[in-house]
Amino acid sequence: MRTILHIDLDAFFVSVEQGRNPSLKGKPVIVGGDPEGRGVVAAASYEARAAGVRSGMPAAMARRLCPEAAFLRGDGYLYLRASERFFSIVRRYSPVVEAASVDEAYADLTGLQRLMGHPVEIAVRIRDETRATLGLESSLGLAANKLVAKVGSATAKPNGLAMVRPGYEAAFLAPQGLERLPGIGPGIRQKLTMFNIRRIGQLAALDPVLLEETFGRVGRLLHQRANGRDDRPVVSHRAPPPSVGREITFPEDTVDAPLLESVLYRLTEKAAGSLRREGLEARTVTLKLRYADFVTCSRSATLPSPTDLDPVLYEALLPLFRRLFVRRVAVRLIGVSLSRLVGGPRQLGLFEDRRLERLRRLYKGIDAVRERFGFHALTLGRSVARPPAGDTGAAA
């Protein structure tokens, strides 16, 4: 029998901002929108949520719902540092910690009782230390698996603790709405709503054969999850890599230079999107080619100043590609890597060029749309080639 803790920071971005500027405490605060009302809400304080503001909502709509809210642009670098400190606290209490996102962790507490105390005690100590050293509140879920622990912490928000005893998983989940069950996308939820299934318990009671006929392999998973069964282990990760990369192996080797250049642009778009999500900028770009004969070469260039913008990065990568792509051998793999990462100049507020600022706004909007509707929802002019099969977007 396992004991899993899910710990989730409450209103993370907003709480970090309130720590930096205590006059914002207890007030409606919105991170991610800009004063002109463009962009998308990344996070909202509980006071703003009470007015109906939700993350993912256009900032203009948030302003209409809650005109008195303070709008902040957000500071990815600051959040990342707070996040790192949060995880280092959790790691002091358990050797097996998984970062589920920037502000939520799973910790496997199995077998730690003798060493560290009862799981509830450990969980509360982690929360107390997070509050004392970072000034951040969090919610705790304890259960025999990740799924139930996560739903537990969600029901305990804000600043609560939910413990689900082994054997009571299905009973705990049954009265909750379907939106609480992780892994149910809007498509599946819509279909289930058509069958008048709104609570997790109703889904749990459905015939698993019917679910599998309707949803395929996902159907079986839905049945297991709705019944509170989940065998996934807590997987420890190392610290985030000092570079961001994307590469693609082509299904067939190619010598088509325009195709390669447009794939290069797509890879740059993806890698730059990851940078922007983390609030980072890269100073060095590296291009990698692997030929059909498995000879691999790479070239790097250093930018005059760090950036997170696709066109600027591509301008540096394209000449590298043209210099490298001289052998008369077909290409098997192409990769882009961005390194020497730094927190963006947005925080420093130095030398903001108008054109870059406009681009940055544009890309912020694009990232938001991509996040909600998938990467292919928006593609800029350059990136027109059909994605080759096997494009997993895996980090290099």
Give me the residues that bind Mg ion (CB under 5 A), please.
8-9, 12, 103
For residue 16, what are its two tokens? 């970090």
Cross-strand bridge partners of residue 300: 286
Whether the Cβ atoms of residue 307 and residue 258 lie closer than 8 Å to each other? no
Of 61, 65, 35, give the one whose Cα is nearest residue 50. Answer: 65
Tokens 């149910």 — which residue?
184
User: 359: exposed, middle or buried (C-beta count within 10 Å: 0-12, 13-18, 19+)?
Assistant: middle
Tokens 């998308």 — which residue?
40
Nearer residue to Mg ion within complex by CB, 136 or 204 = 136
Contacts of 55 (CB under 8 A, 6+ apart): 32, 40, 41, 42, 43, 44
Nearer residue to Mg ion within complex by CB, 141 or 343 = 141
Q: How far is the CB of 9 from Mg ion (least distance, A)?
A: 5
Of 84, 14, 81, give the one whose Cα is nearest residue 238. Answer: 84
Where b means 16+ CB within 10 Å and e means fewer, 207-229 reads: eeeebbeebeebbebbbebbbbb
Nearer residue to Mg ion within complex by CB, 78 or 206 = 78
Q: How far is the CB of 84 from Mg ion (least distance, A)?
A: 16
Where b means 16+ CB within 10 Å and e means fewer, 96-133 reads: bbbbeebbbbbbbbeebeeeeeebeebbeebbeebeee
Q: How far is the CB of 181 from Mg ion (least distance, A)?
A: 17
Q: Which residues are catalytic?
A: 104
Q: How far is the CB of 11 from Mg ion (least distance, A)?
A: 7
CA separation for the pair 311, 293 (Å, rounded): 31
Nearer residue to Mg ion within complex by CB, 10 or 391 = 10
Q: How far is the CB of 200 from Mg ion (least distance, A)?
A: 21
Q: How far is the CB of 40 from Mg ion (least distance, A)?
A: 17
Nearer residue to Mg ion within complex by CB, 55 or 379 = 55
Of 137, 135, 101, 108, give the one whose Cα is nearest residue 122. Answer: 108
Nearer residue to Mg ion within complex by CB, 103 or 391 = 103
